[in-house]
Amino acid sequence: MEDYLSLLPALLRGLWVTVQITVAAAILAVPLALLAGLGRMSRKPWVSWPAAVYVEVFRGTSALVQLFWFYFVLPLFGIQLSAMLVGIVVLAANAGAYGAEVVRGAIKGVPSGQREAAVALNMTNRQIIRRIVLPQAIPAMLPPGGNIMIELLKNTALVSLITITDLTFRAQLLRSDTLRTTDIFIIVLLLYFAVALLITAGVRMLERRFKVQ
């Protein structure tokens, strides 16, 4: 047991970085998903086209390739961002693109009669989306949204490949220092699993809070 505990301090520092990135990217991803999902359903082409391109590009390419591209290519356009910021923004964009499809599906899932009743009452489009459609769509977004959050957590491991000292990076460092490969990776996997379980529990709490009567 002593042995395992000695590995923890370094790994926990990495875990903290992982959690920070996960939370920051998640917070950024939600508005992105809402904007892109709603944008994709807009009838104005100058809104729906960029939204569609964003969603298709970030869903259709590999997260790691996206990370590398932004890490290496962005500086050439004069944009200097820290690796951490690149990691957060790219992972958020990635999650947001998948989230946009969830948003779109959930909004389409609200019965058309709801919209019709709202139009009959002469509500504006904005009111209809905000007060009638979204409140009914949100509960449907939570379970798949939770899955996307777990994918996001898993994707944070990729930032170790662009030099961010997250949990996976720490694991690699520790491995080359102590050569206790098996122990290290078992602990690391368990730590990720624990965070994933926390996320699932959190989503379940949200599901209860947002239940439509």
Partner 1 sequence: MTPIFDWAFALEILPTLGEALIITIQATMLGMLLAVTLGLILALMRRARLRIISAPTALFIEFVRSTPLLVQIYFLFYVLPVTGVQMSPLTTGILALGVHYAAYCAEVYRAGIEAVPRGQVEAARALNMSSWRTAVGIVLPQAVPPVVPALGNYLVAMFKDTPLLSAITVVELLQQSKMIGSATFRYTEPLTLVGLLFLALSLIAAYGVRRLEVGLQRFGGKR
Partner 2 sequence: MSASIEIKDLHKSYGDVDVLRGINLSIPAGQTVAVIGPSGSGKSTLLRMLMTLDKPTSGEILIDGQSMWQNEAGQFQRSNSPHVRGVRGKIGMVFQHFNLFPHKTALGNVIEAPMHVEGLSREKATERGKEYLDMVGLGDKFDAYPAQLSGGQKQRVGIARALAMRPEIMLLDEVTSALDPELVGGILQIIQDLSARRTMTMIMVTHQMKFAERASDRTLFFDQGNIVEDAESSVLFGQPKEARTQQFLQSVIEAE
Contact set with partner 2 (CB under 8 A):
111, 113-114, 116-125, 127, 131-132, 135-136, 212-213
Residue 121 binds which entry of partner 1, partner 2, none, with Cβ cut-offs from 5 to 8 Å by kind? partner 2
Q: Which positions from 136 through 165 interact with partner 1, judged by CB under 8 A?
A: 150, 153-158, 160-161
Where helices occur in the chain by DSSP H, the ranges are 2-40, 45-60, 63-73, 83-109, 112-120, 125-127, 134-156, 167-178, 181-209
Minimum distance of partner 2 from residue 48's CB (angstroms): 17
Nearest residue to 159 via CA among 150, 149, 170? 170
Rounded to a whole number of angstroms, the minimum distance from the CB of residue 98 to partner 1 is 11
In angstroms, what is the minimal distance from the CB of 119 to partner 2?
Answer: 6
For residue 180, give both structure tokens: 């206790």
Helix (H) and strand (E) counts in the chain: 9, 0
- Pick the closer one to partner 2 by CB: 138 or 191: 138
Contact indicator for 123, 115 with CB cutoff of 8 Å: no
User: Which tokens go with 21?
Assistant: 């990135």
CB of 146 to partner 2, least distance (A): 21
d(CA 58, CA 167): 24
Asked if residue 73 binds partner 1 (CB under 8 A), the reply is: yes
Structural contact between residues 158 and 63, judged by C-beta atoms closer than 8 angstroms = yes
How many chain residues are in contact with partner 1, going by CB under 8 A?
37
The 8 Å CB, 24+ separation contacts for 185-192 are 187/4, 187/7, 187/8, 187/11, 188/11, 191/11, 191/15, 191/167, 192/18, 192/153, 192/154, 192/157, 192/167
As measured in angstroms, the least distance from the Cβ of 137 to partner 2 is 11
Q: Does 77 bind partner 1 (CB under 8 A)?
A: yes
Determine if 6 is a binding residue for partner 1 (CB under 8 A): no
Which residue's CB is nearer to partner 2, number 136 or number 147?
136
Which of the listed partners (partner 2, partner 1, none) does 84 bind, with a CB threshold of 5 to 8 Å by partner kind? none
Binding residues vs partner 1 (CB under 8 A) = 56-57, 60-66, 68-69, 72-73, 76-77, 150, 153-158, 160-161, 168, 171-172, 175, 181-182, 185, 188-189, 192-193, 196-197
